[in-house]
Structure 1
Amino acid sequence: MSAKKMKNELLIEISKLGVEYLTNSEPIRAIENINLNIYRGDFICVLGPSGCGKSTLLKVLAGFLQQTEGTFLMNGQVVAGPDWNRGVIFQSASLYPWMNVRKNIEFGPKMKGLSKIESSKIASHYLKQVDLVEFENQATFELSGGMKQRVALARVLANEPEVMLMDEPLGALDALTRIHMQKLIRNIWKENHNTIFMITHDVDEALSLGTRVLVMSKNPGTIIKELDLDFIENAVDSKTGRIHTNEKYLNLKEEILDLIDT
């Protein structure tokens, strides 16, 4: 089932959401009046100037931070805190260094109470999906940056969350590794029908991955533009698996850059 066919399945509802931080001098409004519906199968990429509240919004979605105004519902229920339904991938892989690759991936299913056999089966599936089968017994500190992020991706996937939250997970990678990771994430999204909410500073990355791209304003951040895209579908269906830029792509890139620079 494609993301487009899943569009009627509402997963997350955000209405008039705002976050205000208290400081010693005066309150600081990080985000305000955020209104957003997220549907199953969406791949949402969020862009905006530095300090616009992108990470604040992601922390609210993860349950790490409570909004100071507005509502945040998931499956019609108020979100009270973090849980396995929302898996987070950070810029740093944040793996357990005392565990090898396989055990890192098995950890989540075991914590959910699955048996050793079930957890191993799940880990084997995602090891194959991120192309790390031959490294399953490797210590994580011996891996390259890109491989660590693949382990982090597999570890979140193994929990089978309803939504994956990505906070610039590819930002620290070199250009070539980043392109390979983008292709991997596109294919996984298509195969698994994941719902993904991803923060990035890279306009090309957002255009090449997102079914929807949100552009946020300067602080206090709010959504000033939403774009529905099909570049990711075209890339997955192409022989190369890569994005092919055209006039529409270049015009959208310029439009987004103008909004961010405003």
Structure 2
Amino acid sequence: MSEMPGLVVTGVSGRMGRMLAQVVQDSGKARLVAGLVREGHDWVGRDLGEAMGGPAWGVKATDDPVEAFARAQGVLDFTRPAATVDYAGLAAQARAVHVIGTTGLEPADLEKIAAAARHAVVVRAGNMSLGVNLLVKMVEKVAAALDEDWDIEVIEAHHRMKVDAPSGTALMLGAAAAKGRGVDFETAKVSGRDGITGARDRGTIGFSAIRGGDIVGEHDVLFAGAGERVVLRHVATDRAIFARGALRAALWGQGKKPGQYDMMDVLGL
């Protein structure tokens, strides 16, 4: 048991944090050593299992990331950009594998994460599921095969509580389409259409975001040509797929050289 890597889950009181903690606890492949919550949270010092309404796990919630990371070989982090940037530096100091599923990261955030990755392993992906990462490769190949007479639109749907749009997964898919076409993604990207927008510019990659209810995650990549359409689709029905992917990434990262990796590396794609 002691040979299994110890993992910390950040934001453990949230919906994704609870799922991550449960998956690690049930895995038999890693040890949950702590759950991190914000300073002053009412879970601080409580047993995580009991805080989640079940039997005791013998693992406590804490608001001290330095102490928690010092006991861990990996950090599973699906929080907010500001917190993730702070955790990246602390995880690097602890030489712990930092698995980042946080979305909405800005270029300045990514620069700080890249700096941390010079000292430790960082695995970052907009989506941790096997199916989505296979879809990313498919989108790249289809985009490479179809010229700019085919319009590309990424349509994504998530639950009403999601705070960023387009989703990190949608951006992954758009970037894959741009790579396949050999164009600059930031130049080709179009999102947030409103009002009299005029005709669509040739070669652009559009985004449409739907927010409602408890939708876990749905992504369609539409290739629309004259007289025909190709649609590539992934539907997530259980948030546990992301947690299982994150655990797999944390295990994969043990013993790897410092640097930034993604789920393509983890899955050997």
**TM-score relative to the length of structure 1:** 0.26
**TM-score relative to the length of structure 2:** 0.25
Higher-Rg structure is 2
